[in-house]
Amino acid sequence: MSALAKLPFSVLDLAPIRDTGSPQQALHNSLALARHVESLDFNRFWVAEHHNMDGIASSATAVLLGYLAAGTSRIRLGSGGVMLPNHAPLVVAEQFGTLATLYPGRIELGLGRAPGADQFTAHALRRERSGSADDFPQDVAELQRYLGPRTPDQRVIAVPGTGTNVPIWLLGSSLFSAQLAGERGLPYAFASHFAPRYVHEAIRVYRNAFKPSETLEKPYVMLGVPLMAADTDEQAQHLATSAYQRILSLIRGQSLVQRPPVESMEGLWLPHERDAVGSFLGMAVIGGPQKIRARLEVLLEQTEADELIFTCDHYDFADRLHAFDILASLR
């Protein structure tokens, strides 16, 4: 039996906005994708907090999760992630406590420690708050208190939120959150879909630091994987040029709206930019079904990941749906 047969597959959706599209269409597509992968028995569907980016529509993460939860029936839904320095932990607890109260057993909370924005956007988000990534361990503990059972001496409570015990994940692209997740006995998601450089070291740090908790008896690692699947290797390489253009725009500080695939990237990027895009997408699986299967089996052998969460940046929404059909067929 293939190593993929029993492995949970999940989706991280960035609610991408096309060059000819709109935020409304991107949000509608997000729900359509959630319904599609729910029908394929995927495990969870996460959306990510990004601000001041013209190509990503998931800035109001908790609001979007409410829309997705209302339109689906059983798939787990969560943030991948909420950037905690941007928010007061009490507000996050109330938002996700509300979601968990309305959709019990389906909501989870992935937390990141980076603001996920430039300094001007971070300032606009925080206003007078002095939130910092350095506060992350304390903020996580505060959130856990709000979502856990009320204690006799607790002066501030989250309503809804108290007693919901919304599952918390820590997300990271470096070693800090890996260490913290291990020490706190929390599940850990590594952002290898855009920062694969430290993936092996982060997994090692997390597993070595892990202490069993009420939440988790043993380490649980989920890895982000960019998915660029199509019926043939050639078609997949063609469709992948949309993702290449988007990452190139990110590197250059340009518009992040999705652009259609091109016949060749030659002339669009410089050699050092091509290398940078390649590093960014170092964990990408690109190809037809057999190539995707082989790449994923190697990835599992190297990392022993417990779950994989896939992003897909195909320009045509129908191609994106089909990529997940191909992925589901490999199990």
Calculate mean pLDDT across residues 267-284: 96
**Confidence label for 206 from pLDDT (cuts 50, 70 and 90):** very high
Q: pTM of this prediction?
A: 0.96
What confidence score (pLDDT) does residue 85 get? 87
Whether pLDDT at 198 is above 70: yes
**Confidence label for 1 from pLDDT (cuts 50, 70 and 90):** low
What confidence score (pLDDT) does residue 26 get? 98
pLDDT digits (tens, 9 = 90+) for 134-174: 889 999 999 999 999 999 999 999 999 999 999 999 999 98
Domains of the chain: 9-225+305-329 (3.20.20.30), 226-304 (no CATH)
Residue 174 CA to residue 272 CA, distance in Å, equals 23
H/E stretch holding 76: strand 76-83
pLDDT digits (tens, 9 = 90+) for 2-21: 789 899 999 999 999 999 99
pLDDT digits (tens, 9 = 90+) for 223-245: 999 999 999 999 999 999 999 99
Q: Please spell the DSSP secondary structure of 243-285, one letter per residue.
A: HHHHHHHHHHT----B----S--BTTB-HHHHHHHHHHTTT-E
